[in-house]
Structure 1
């Protein structure tokens, strides 16, 4: 087996090759060079070993984005253990569920999430130790507690001699339509996403600095803020607080990043805000993932802020983006073409590959970074990981120019009059209306129990929604059967911690909100 530890690739080799003085990370209150961070990571690795963490054991991390979280991820991997960063937006019972599922004995938690962690530990009896980042140890009487400083000042150790295929990282899926599942990734997969998407699509350089709205617990975010910048000796900019347009605009002006990463809903929020039009003047490339970026958002952002957004699709199971537009050659409204090193194909409901264009089906991908399965989910793993191929669950169509367009999640497609309708197509039409800031289209039953499209719309600030005008706007630009039969105004759309729209929640809201006979 080939020896390889991702920490050596991301951190130590830069010090060996003379790049130790470069700035690795800038976070509120702390800036570290590669040499300084490498030293801290080795001490954290030693700290994990000192509290009994063994190679390949899981260490769960519920922490804000900062040097501590960065050091915990890298320190766990350096010790041979498996970091499991989890969403910081979960409740105590939700955290307890994944904590118990992972069988982790050690939990690292920031003060902001101490209350949730206390509830979680009561549901995860195997937890023996909790490492506290600014949190009060009195809140955890049933376990042994350690202050973060105990880990970060421990004796440094050399990275554990892992292999390319050794487990490096677990990432739990967001669980929007079912129970969260731990996708297990190997050390070599981290290098793979850097040398495919990071190098050959994003074109990241050593003089870049990266700012990501998506947090480190998210597959998209950990690539943006850790894997890609550290693969080339670039700088990452971390923000511990919950992102808002005002906060992110301030950080952009302060830090002047050259690469900016967000999700479509955040780009929409930026466009709805009053931040200055020159906010992103330092950014040479913006990136979007998580959900399809509507063409109208791409055009509006480029027109107002002067920055091109690369839209792509990735997944927790694939670790990062495998289908993407290219710099200077974006086809708005599509997710571009396969990233070098990956193959994609569209299959029909019988699993047969669709050779032609214009025919929708389910997207499958194969490449060097796919997980080797879900933790303790045998049947689900068999359905999703099919030999070399990963079943994405996304509905796609291949266009005549070779690009691919996302039609939504395979189970989000709906029928109107017996004909399939893509929610994203209707959403893109509604986003072209000047009164619409955000929108989600779902199915709701009419008085006969037949599903019809319904649009849930967040209006632009200061605008009032005219339901009939929006329906007619769709009728003018789409086939009549695709039009929403009703428009429901909402203050905000429910979203996951990673910014994806929670369509299952919206479906329930619409079902409750509409009276029988309200759909025309």
Structure 2
């Protein structure tokens, strides 16, 4: 079988995108050094009015690396970063890599239990955290292997007079009084940089074997696992992103970084992409539509990686037409399915291209993407990236499925993880013969375009029928009054499971359960129509905008337990 028959998707690659790339065997941090040498005076990042040049960013990362070494960090030690999108998060990330450490990205929203699990599991030696989070870190510290805590605050990199005003605004909004007991093992980030040496640290790396990152899976389906990503994995995936967006010019682009850097998607297509491409990062600490719209207009953003919830939030902002968004050329959407209506509306508003892709933490994260300047079939996650093989596994036969058949998506490529940290059995179950078993159900069409129908674990079996939540959600998004929708399966004594829809309506829109049910019956087979509807003001989400189905399922389980308890009390 020739390559075109085996991998039909490469028929659709434009001449500008190679089917295979010669990846540089370099460390991630070497790209920051290169950018500082080629573009020393160019702005590397913009943060709420404050800018750092590439020369300043490299110098800060180098000083931080030397201070980590002074604190006893050696090659292979784990350094955790629990910071929102700020200059400090970029400095800490690249500084830790320069010191030879393995970065552990930590979600600032973690509660103590989650934080303790990650610190114990990773064996992190140092953590960099926001001052707002210090007391949380302090409580779990004795149960971990942490030796040092480095504390920073949003105000540390704000321009005057914002840096003086911000602490008062922060206290008003959070109610938290900053109380950090600096001492021998608790350090000020700013003070460390003031006294840090600016000398290069000489270390040797095997980029295909040495880890750059322990990226913990979201834990939406169980206990979070540490995904081991090498320098080569991350360099390869970032290189693939650069080659896919071939019209973007090195050293000239402006990238909106509103996706959290502690999430692998924001880290790769936001931070690492910007550094490798010598682009300017417009860093947004948290999702705020006004701040994002102002940032796009004032900084002339050209590249906007985001999640569907971000684009939904922006197109529903009543003031969006007051801003000039015409600088946007490319928007890349991931982390959740992108409704067609959202794609079309956002492209109308900006004049740029919004394309959907697919990935997972275990693949650094991107494996598939729609063409930015080419064919984009409705509902497709696109084509596998260069050097990325993809197949659909038929669960019944154990063979690769034919086009159109639904099965589990398997991927293979240079971006695929080394394995799970300290979990050999789970690694063996997920990585087989070089194939990464994604747990996502989908199919490939005759032309080589891939489609995801749902997570293997999310599939609903009602009355013997397989129902994929994404298909039902796509129909719901077609309704003009619906802003967000999510489908889950809830226990049903007769059908086994039944379909429940959670709905968030657009502002000033009204919709009854009866009207929605009639709408669904026009567009779905009877067995797929939701039997239960619940209207909400908002849905539980991760920081990157992915709806937490698990949280909704847990709510339903609690309701069921409570109902059973009430029944028992009545019968007694």
Q: Aligning the two structures, in what range does the TM-score lie when normalised by the shorter sequence?
A: over 0.9
1:93 aligned residue (92, 95, 113): 113
- Paired with 1:470 and 1:385, the residues of 2 have a C-alpha distance of 43
Aligned partners of 2:228 and 2:419 also within 8 Å: yes
1:292 corresponding residue in structure 2: 337
In structure 2, the residue corresponding to 1:340 is in which secondary structure?
coil
In structure 2, the residue corresponding to 1:317 is in which secondary structure?
helix
Aligned partners of 1:5 and 1:187 also within 8 Å: yes
Aligned partners of 2:328 and 2:350 also within 8 Å: no
Q: How does 1:38-187 map to 2 (within 5 A)?
A: 38-124=58-144, 126-134=145-153, 139=180, 144-153=185-194, 154-159=196-201, 160-165=203-208, 166-187=210-231
Decide which moves more: 45-54 or 115-124: 115-124
Aligned partners of 2:241 and 2:269 also within 8 Å: no
Following TM superposition, by how much is the alpha carbon of 1:381 offset from its aligned partner in structure 2, in angstroms?
A: 1.0
Following TM superposition, by how much is the alpha carbon of 1:3 offset from its aligned partner in structure 2, in angstroms?
A: 7.2
Following TM superposition, by how much is the alpha carbon of 1:291 offset from its aligned partner in structure 2, in angstroms?
A: 1.2
Aligned partners of 2:131 and 2:178 also within 8 Å: no
2:29 corresponding residue in structure 1: 7
- Paired with 2:187 and 2:110, the residues of 1 have a C-alpha distance of 23
- Paired with 1:358 and 1:307, the residues of 2 have a C-alpha distance of 31
Following TM superposition, by how much is the alpha carbon of 1:499 offset from its aligned partner in structure 2, in angstroms?
A: 1.6
1:441 corresponding residue in structure 2: 487
2:441 corresponding residue in structure 1: 395
In structure 2, the residue corresponding to 1:334 is in which secondary structure?
coil
Residues 280 and 400 (structure 1), Cα distance of their counterparts in 2 relative to 1, 3 Å cut: farther
Aligned partners of 1:175 and 1:181 also within 8 Å: yes
1:313 corresponding residue in structure 2: 358
- Paired with 1:168 and 1:381, the residues of 2 have a C-alpha distance of 18
- C-alpha deviations, 1:10-39, integer Å up to 9, x for none? 2112344x3222221111253122222111
1:482 corresponding residue in structure 2: 528
| 1:254 pairs with 2:298 | yes
1:266 corresponding residue in structure 2: 310
- Paired with 1:338 and 1:458, the residues of 2 have a C-alpha distance of 33
- Paired with 1:304 and 1:70, the residues of 2 have a C-alpha distance of 31
- Paired with 2:220 and 2:477, the residues of 1 have a C-alpha distance of 24
- Paired with 2:219 and 2:246, the residues of 1 have a C-alpha distance of 28
Aligned partners of 1:471 and 1:486 also within 8 Å: no
1:326 corresponding residue in structure 2: 371
| 1:26 pairs with 2:68 | no
2:516 corresponding residue in structure 1: 470
- C-alpha deviations, 1:151-197, integer Å up to 9, x for none? 32311231432221211111111110111111111112222112212
1:335 corresponding residue in structure 2: 381
- Paired with 2:184 and 2:91, the residues of 1 have a C-alpha distance of 23
Output the aligned Cα RMSD.
2.2
In structure 1, the residue corresponding to 2:415 is in which secondary structure?
coil
1:360 aligned residue (406, 429, 433): 406
- Paired with 2:513 and 2:246, the residues of 1 have a C-alpha distance of 41
- Paired with 1:351 and 1:151, the residues of 2 have a C-alpha distance of 59
In structure 1, the residue corresponding to 2:395 is in which secondary structure?
coil
Decide which moves more: 461-470 or 405-414: 461-470
Aligned partners of 1:395 and 1:407 also within 8 Å: yes
- Paired with 1:93 and 1:140, the residues of 2 have a C-alpha distance of 22
- C-alpha deviations, 1:357-398, integer Å up to 9, x for none? 221111111111111111111211111122311111111111
| 1:499 pairs with 2:545 | yes
- Paired with 1:358 and 1:177, the residues of 2 have a C-alpha distance of 28
TM-score w.r.t. the length of structure 2 is: 0.85
- Paired with 1:256 and 1:353, the residues of 2 have a C-alpha distance of 49
- Paired with 1:137 and 1:271, the residues of 2 have a C-alpha distance of 36
Aligned partners of 2:325 and 2:349 also within 8 Å: no
Counting matched residue pairs gives 511
Following TM superposition, by how much is the alpha carbon of 1:512 offset from its aligned partner in structure 2, in angstroms?
A: 5.4
Aligned partners of 2:359 and 2:368 also within 8 Å: yes
Following TM superposition, by how much is the alpha carbon of 1:48 offset from its aligned partner in structure 2, in angstroms?
A: 0.5
Aligned partners of 2:47 and 2:86 also within 8 Å: yes
- Paired with 1:422 and 1:33, the residues of 2 have a C-alpha distance of 48
Following TM superposition, by how much is the alpha carbon of 1:142 offset from its aligned partner in structure 2, in angstroms?
A: 9.3
Following TM superposition, by how much is the alpha carbon of 1:138 offset from its aligned partner in structure 2, in angstroms?
A: 5.9
Aligned partners of 1:3 and 1:161 also within 8 Å: no
- Paired with 1:415 and 1:463, the residues of 2 have a C-alpha distance of 32
- Paired with 1:318 and 1:203, the residues of 2 have a C-alpha distance of 24
- Paired with 2:455 and 2:447, the residues of 1 have a C-alpha distance of 23
Structure 2, unaligned runs of 5 or more: 1-23, 155-176, 564-572
In structure 1, the residue corresponding to 2:457 is in which secondary structure?
helix
Residues 103 and 429 (structure 1), Cα distance of their counterparts in 2 relative to 1, 3 Å cut: same
